[in-house]
Structure 1
C-alpha cells in the first residue's frame, strides 16, 4: 500500500482535557477509510487534525510522506478538502458558492461539469443555495471541494442530517468519485451500515486512541460486532 495520508501519535488537549491521546491512522492512495467509534471519542478532532483545522500538541501528520506542519495551511486544505456534517455555503448563487475557492486562487472552474459530477442539474447554478434541500446543499459542498481538485476528501458525518434517499445519493457519489477519479476518502461515521457499505478499511477510535483496525473482509467477518457493541454502549 502506498500511503497518501498518515497520522502518527497524535495528541491534542483542550483546557487540560485530552481529546486525542496517541491516535494513529494510515490511509493508502485511493482508499476509502471509515473512522468510527462512540460519541466523544475524538473522531472529528482527528479528522480536523489531518488538514490543520486543529494543530496537534504532539505527533505528526504526513501527506505523501511530507509533514503537513511544513506546509502552508491553505495550500494543504486545497489538497485535502473537508466536507462537514451540515453544509455552509456562501454566495448568493450556487455558482458563486462553488467558485469561491477557485476565485481566491485567481482561476475559474466549470460549474456545469462540477454539478453534473455530483448528480445535480447544471441549471441549479443560478439558484440560491438556501433554496435547495439539505441533501442538494451537501452535494454542492462536495462540488465546491472538487473545484479545487483535491487529492484527499475528508467527510465528517456527511449524511447524518439527510434522509435515506439523500444519504444513498451521497454514498453513491463517494463510490463513483473513488472509482472514477481515484480520490482518497477519510469518512467519520457512526452509521455502521454506511461504514459496511463504503469502507475499504475501518478504524475504530475510542477514548482518544486507536482501538482497532480491519479491512473490509475482516470487518464483515467479526470486527463489526465488536464495534457495534462499543458504539452502542453494550459490553
Structure 2
C-alpha cells in the first residue's frame, strides 16, 4: 500500500469549500477546472504559501503547521506560472536554495542544467538575457537544486509557446520517472493532464467535483460539470 503524504480534512480557504483529499507517494496529480475555482490556492496549501481558514492538513501523518516552514518548502518545491528569478546569473539562482542550508556542492550545477536541457555555457548568463522558456527551465532547475521529494507545479507552461511546452513536458516526464517524484500540478491544458498525470482532480465552485484515474476520467466523466468543461476545452 502506498504511503500517504498529504491528508486534507474539511479544508476551507477563501473560495475552497470543505476539501477532503488524500495524496499518496508517487502519484502524479493533475488539478484542473474553470478559472477562479481555487486550483492555485489548493496547490499553495501544500507548502504553506497559504494556510487554511479552517480544517486540517496532515503531512506524513502530522499537522503540517508542526513542520519548520523552510524545511517544508525545501521538500515540497514549487514552480510558478511565471518564473521569478533573482536578477543575477543562472548559477547564482541555482545555488541560492542549497546555500541557505549549507548544502551546495560545486559540480551540482552541471547536473541541474542537464535535467532541464540547458548547455553549461548558460551558468554565467544574466537571467535578464534568457528567453521565457529558458527562464522557466532555470526556475525548474532552481527548485530541483533543493532535491525535493514533491514537485508542485502551478501552470508552469501556460505562458510558453507550443515548442517550449512540448520540450518542458519531456523534461518533466524524464524527471518524474528517474527521480520518482510525487507531482501535483495545476494545468488548464487537458491534453497536458492526459500526458503527464495518473490521477485527476476537477475543481469547480471551490469544490472537488470529480476525481479519478487519467486519462479515464476524460473518456467517461461522471458529472455534467466535467462533461461541459471537457466540451469547451
TM-score class, shorter-chain normalisation, is over 0.9
Gaps of 5+ in 1: 14-18
Residue number in structure 2 paired with 1:227: 226
Deviation at 1:65, TM superposition (A): 1.9
SS in 1 for 2:220: helix
Residue number in structure 2 paired with 1:216: 214
Change (3 A) 1:232 1:61: farther
Residue number in structure 2 paired with 1:180: 178
Deviation at 1:216, TM superposition (A): 1.8
Q: Distance between the aligned counterparts of 1:123 and 1:61, measured in 2?
A: 43
SS in 2 for 1:159: coil
Matched-pair contact (CA < 8 Å) for 2:218–2:230:
no
Render the CA deviation track for 1:15-69: whole Å, top value 9, x for unaligned: xxxx111122322211110000110000000011111111101122222222211
Change (3 A) 1:103 1:174: same
Change (3 A) 1:64 1:207: same
SS in 1 for 2:141: helix
Q: Distance between the aligned counterparts of 1:180 and 1:41, measured in 2?
A: 32
Deviation at 1:73, TM superposition (A): 1.2
- TM-score with structure 2 length normalisation? 0.92
Residue number in structure 1 paired with 2:12: 11
Matched-pair contact (CA < 8 Å) for 2:194–2:215:
no
Q: Which of 22, 34, 39 does residue 38 from structure 1 map onto?
A: 34
1:135 matched to 2:133? The reply is yes
Question: Which is further off, 3-12 or 208-217?
Answer: 3-12
Matched-pair contact (CA < 8 Å) for 2:79–2:139:
yes
Render the CA deviation track for 1:172-205: whole Å, top value 9, x for unaligned: 1221111100011000011111111111000011
Residue number in structure 1 paired with 2:65: 69
Matched-pair contact (CA < 8 Å) for 1:10–1:22:
yes
Gaps of 5+ in 2: none
Matched-pair contact (CA < 8 Å) for 1:114–1:147:
yes
Q: Which of 166, 169, 179 does residue 168 from structure 1 map onto?
A: 166
Q: Distance between the aligned counterparts of 1:230 and 1:221, measured in 2?
A: 13
Q: Distance between the aligned counterparts of 2:156 and 2:227, measured in 1?
A: 20
Structure 1 vs Structure 2 CA RMSD:
1.9
Residue number in structure 2 paired with 1:55: 51
Q: Distance between the aligned counterparts of 1:113 and 1:204, measured in 2?
A: 35
Alignment of 1:89-108 (within 5 A): 89-108=85-104
Render the CA deviation track for 1:92-145: whole Å, top value 9, x for unaligned: 100001111111112214111101111111210000112111111111111111
Q: Distance between the aligned counterparts of 1:217 and 1:53, measured in 2?
A: 30
Q: Which of 72, 78, 81 does residue 82 from structure 1 map onto?
A: 78
Matched-pair contact (CA < 8 Å) for 1:157–1:188:
yes
